[in-house]
Structure 1
């Protein structure tokens, strides 16, 4: 799993802690808890405070478990994690509002009438704005990550090294290169193996560290279904594989590499 997967999962798990704290507060509170920020629920409003708080605690506990599960899923597939997070942040929050209203109406005392203050009445709009902003931030972050993940690597041939600019980019000294070959196969056919710390988002793009029984530990910058594939063998370091979206560009890069780099 890649750093981006771990980072995103950590965010989800940290968020779950705050929701879990609300659940614990609901279960332990002696007074009726409130839902909206800046509002209060007076004891005389509720007929059975322990049952009301338990119902709220269970609601927040379910939401916490959902957030934890999203974090776990994100470790293996960040795209599915993002989709689930958007669902739980938008429709999920609306579901929370509906659930709370059901709980409140169930335990509300009918013997008293309570006036909602102006500040409390305005809270839902502020919450909705915050949710929309949070979802947009998530989309921007993930969109940016996917943009850089899907881009072809930029390969520069310098005086004494090859510079690969990309997610999980690397500089390769000429002195550590033992061979450069052009394999008339895609990485899928060669055998990409298992991602250990790399990118494998939408489409066929694979970048980062992979491991397979056939090729051992490798560093990939490839379109997995596109051939040919450039293989750079190194002394006591991972072999590097490169394939661009356009096969002609891959072949041109190979010619530039073998003409510029003195091999032993």
Structure 2
């Protein structure tokens, strides 16, 4: 009964790593680091998007049917973290409107002000989404490269096994199995690193795109309120700019 236990122990992941060739060990370490990096990015993006979506739902619900103070942040936005994309977009649009409030005497000036506000909000949205997408490319790289790195380790390990067979003139399965197992373990590690990276790259990319739609929806709400206030009778006296 002791021989099967010893064989099982010899083929455990730790023993496969310890018994592997130095090149195969380097490949395994690289794949473990890549997997850890991928999961760090995944957890960071998943947690951040969950928080942002929950806050966006609250912020957008808070401004629906309410007249926006165009010259400064609404109370809910002022109390939210400055790093929130919606806050950054609202802040950029409000700041641009505030800078243009002395140029609203004619219809052409009001149209130009609305266009500048739209551009400021769009630029802020693009910058915020770009920040959300930072490091997302590393998941694509891990997903694409890790299987090939693992395959390299496998090929190298099998080559060493064949060299061992040639040196010992022994083709017994007991002789070649450990070396082949070490080589295949590198491929397994490559897949362990690549599969979650590919899955979450697509999922997080979709989530960011959906969050971008929420930002665009908010920009639309802001512009509608801006147009309404600019169209009011009484010239600038009806605008909430302070």
Report the structure, 1 or 2, having the larger strand content: 1
Structure number with higher helix proportion: 2
TM-score, with structure 1 as normaliser: 0.32
Which one has the largest radius of gyration?
A: 2
